[in-house]
Amino acid sequence: MRNVTSRIKYLEARMERLLWNSRLIVLVGVVASLLIALAALYIGVVDTVLLFSVVASYGSPNTASLDRADIRSQTVTYMVKAIDAYLIAAILVIFSIGLYELFVSRIDVPEDSGFIPRELQVKSLDELKNRILRLVLVVLIIEFFQHALQANYERPLDLLYLALAILLIGGAFWLTSQHGHQGS
């Protein structure tokens, strides 16, 4: 009987160790998110370089006024695309840090530096999810802004739809900020 009990305790301890160490699987997501963040940063840098190449032609004496309007439109488009890419990279970094801290270990480096950004301090999975949700909403707003700038508004109804969309976006942003204040 004693032998069976000790064997069960041994198996229980092995199973608990296996379950505890299985949390390290999350490291795959942490590393993958960081790699995707690097890709997003690369896209943002390329969009920034393209932005400056377009802006450089703006002041050229050979540029007609109609071309300047097109250059302005392209400039705003590249600005929005770069900001979008940088925000996506930031979201992925926050997600990586949050996953690591929730499932693997607390990161000691920021505590030693004396500076820990509030957005990087994650205490629960819900808190991480809410932060990511708010940042994704900002990215969606930027995407909407980019499309709104490129749209053709031919009828008054088109402007009404734009105003309605802006109102809905503002409402969504307000609701998420209210939810964030209640949790604090």
Q: Is residue 112 part of a domain?
A: yes
Structural domain of 60 = 24-124
The pLDDT score that the predictor gives to residue 180 is 56
Using only C-alpha atoms, what is the Rg of the chain?
A: 24
Number of domains in the chain: 1
Q: Within a domain: residue 143? A: no
Query: How much is the pLDDT for 65?
Result: 66
What is the DSSP code string of 12-72? Answer: HHHHHHHHHHGGGGHHHHHHHHHHHHHHHHHHHHHHHHHHHHHHHTTT-TT--HHHHHHHH
Question: What pLDDT does 40 receive?
Answer: 94
| Nearest by Cα to 49 from 70, 83, 78 | 78
Tokens in use for 95? 């997600």
Residue 2's pLDDT is 76
Burial letters 11-34, b for 16+ CB under 10 A, else e: eeeeeeeeeeeeeeeeeeebeebb
Residue 28 lies in a domain: yes
Kindly state whether residue 100 falls inside one of the protein's structural domains: yes
pLDDT value at residue 117:
63
Q: Give domain status of residue 11, yes or no.
A: no
Query: Tens of pLDDT along the chain (184 residues)?
Result: 678 888 888 888 888 888 888 888 889 999 999 999 999 999 999 999 988 888 887 777 776 766 777 788 788 888 888 988 998 898 889 889 888 888 888 777 655 566 666 666 677 777 777 777 777 777 777 777 777 777 777 888 888 888 888 888 888 778 877 765 554 4
